[in-house]
Amino acid sequence: MIKPLDKIYEAYFNSMGEKFGEKVRKRIHWICQKAEGEKILDIGCSQGIASILLGREGKSVLGLDLLEESIEFAKEMLAKEESTTKERVIFKSENFMNFDFKDEKYDTILLTEVLEHVTDPKRFVDKAKMLLKNNGRMVVTVPFGINDYFDHKKTYYVNDILELIPDDFEVKDLNIMGSWVGVVAKKSSNKENSLEYKYFLKKAEEGFFTQEQELLKFKKRLQKNISVLKEEKQLSERKLEKLEVLEKANETLEKKLEKANKEIEKLKLEQLKLLNSEEKALLELKKVVKKNNILSNSKLGRLTIKYWDFRNNIKKKRGL
């Protein structure tokens, strides 16, 4: 089973890049600034960075998350904090919808990057509402716009998140932070001070503008990368053409070398034949020399040689 592990703590400290870390810190700090009161419930606290930051400021925080791995990490990070922070922050691996809060009530409930993971977010909001003190508030953040993360069940725009806010709450703030949208809603029967529709529309337009800017930058980066890839492709094609020419030249050389080797073998055979002929002639010559030596060393042979010399001299004198 694939688990939707969040690495918000590492991201906060730039372990996933400085630019991303800056965006994460901006969002986490906004969430913490909106957490009013002394008693905070952090639902889906993940690795616990927001809970720890609030604990450092003297607030009592209960952080809940389904994933034991995230809670174990949060506890390890909490163990490194000052004793006053450790005393104020509690982390538990629990299901928010099944957890027994007894009669506990909270000044602020954080629902940050939680609702996009559930199929019925209204149930979460309704239960959170019951756990709030009078005039308590909820801080809700979700990804803004399309996000294809495998565990996200719903896409949120401004109106989608506003529809989740109960009727007896007034919206105190709405903020779009790049790829996230956040809402602060306060439990109240007086809705006269709620933000006007035009404000929401303005914020939505600002969010779309920011997103479009990011998309345009991304498009430019893609176009630049495509241009670089095209140049590399052309260079590769030229190198391939040269390689093909070299391969053809190499094939021609191999054929010539093969032909030369055949000629060399032919010459070797001819030389071998000549050598054999020379050896035969040398043997014959040796035989003649041997016979001549035998004749030269015998009385009859010497007389025969003198006779041949006498006849040759007479022929020369007669001009024969």
Per-residue pLDDT of the chain (320 residues; tens, 9 = 90+): 455 567 888 888 888 889 888 989 999 999 999 999 999 999 999 999 999 999 999 999 999 999 999 999 999 999 999 999 999 999 999 999 999 999 999 999 999 999 999 999 999 999 999 999 999 999 999 988 777 677 788 888 888 888 898 888 988 988 888 888 899 999 876 655 566 656 776 777 677 667 767 776 777 888 888 888 888 888 888 888 888 888 888 888 888 888 888 888 888 888 888 778 777 877 777 777 677 776 666 666 677 767 767 777 776 777 65
Q: Is residue 219 one of the residues assigned to a domain? A: no
Q: Is residue 250 one of the residues assigned to a domain? A: no
Q: Is residue 165 one of the residues assigned to a domain? A: yes
Tell me which amino acid residue 242 is. Answer: K
Q: State residue 1's pLDDT score.
A: 47
Q: Is residue 259 one of the residues assigned to a domain? A: no
Question: What is the distance between the alpha carbons of residues 127 and 124, in angstroms, rounded to a whole number?
Answer: 5
Find the domain containing 113 and state its range. 8-195
DSSP 115: G
Q: What are phi and psi of 177, to 5 degrees?
A: -115, 80
Domain at 21, CATH number: 3.40.50.150
Strand ranges, E, within 157-197: 169-177, 180-187
11, 22, 106, 142 from 18: Cα distances, Å: 9, 6, 34, 22
* Bridge partners of residue 106, in order along the sequence: 132
Predicted TM-score (pTM) above 0.75: no
Q: Is residue 138 one of the residues assigned to a domain? A: yes
Q: State residue 273's pLDDT score.
A: 81
Residue carrying structure tokens 């073998």: 265
Under 8 Å between Cβ of 135 and 155: no
Q: Is residue 142 one of the residues assigned to a domain? A: yes
Q: State residue 109's pLDDT score.
A: 98
Question: How many domains in the chain?
Answer: 1
> CA 260, 265, 271, 275: dihedral to nearest 10 degrees?
160
Q: Which candidate, 201, 202, 162, 163, places its Cα nearest to that of 184? A: 162
Q: State residue 151's pLDDT score.
A: 78
Burial label for 7, CB within 10 Å (0-12, 13-18, 19+), is middle
Q: Which candidate, 126, 64, 123, 131, places its Cα nearest to that of 104? A: 131
Q: Is residue 218 one of the residues assigned to a domain? A: no
Residue carrying structure tokens 């905070």: 40
Q: Is residue 22 one of the residues assigned to a domain? A: yes
CA-derived radius of gyration, the chain:
50
